[in-house]
Amino acid sequence: MAIGFFKSLMQKFTGRPVDWDELEEALIRSDLGVSMTMRILKTLQARTDKLTAESVVEVAREEILKVLPRDTLMLRPFASKPKVVLIVGVNGTGKTTSTAKLAYFLKQKGHSVMLAAADTFRAAAIEQLGVWAERIG
């Protein structure tokens, strides 16, 4: 999401004034949610400098990072039990690719990993996950 999201904001607002309604719609459509969208808009509206596409992306990035946890918890195996990680999200947001990246990361850390596809909407996701599973072993 992040790279495509920030890239689309840059493309939308480069070389022209920021339209607040259009920006609000773009933020909400990108699945940030209403509260995060309002937070970003409020921060941008409080700025006294001229808004540019770069400043919109900068503020959006800063506000999103403020709500993300600073420390990441390491996944530790349970004694003689499997650990299950469920990945959910909106269609087209990179769940399958992110799942493969997580599986690769865990495998590199010495974990035994099994991938199970459960996409009821997009049948090709099962094949895509299978390809990723083969690539990472």
pTM: 0.58
Q: How do residues 61-112 score in pLDDT, each as one tens digit?
A: 999 999 887 777 777 767 778 888 888 887 777 888 888 988 998 888 888 8
Residue 11 vs residue 122, higher pLDDT? 11
Enumerate domains of the chain plus CATH numbers: 2-67 (1.20.120), 73-137 (no CATH)
pLDDT > 90: percent of the chain: 20
**What is the per-residue pLDDT for 21?**
92
DSSP SS3 for 64: helix
Residue 58 to residue 31: CA distance in whole angstroms: 18
Distance CA 102, CA 97 (A): 9
Helix then strand then coil, in percent of the chain rounded to 5, is 55, 0, 40
39 pLDDT higher than 90: yes
Cβ neighbours of 36 (radius 10 Å): 18
Residue 1 has pLDDT above 70, yes or no: no
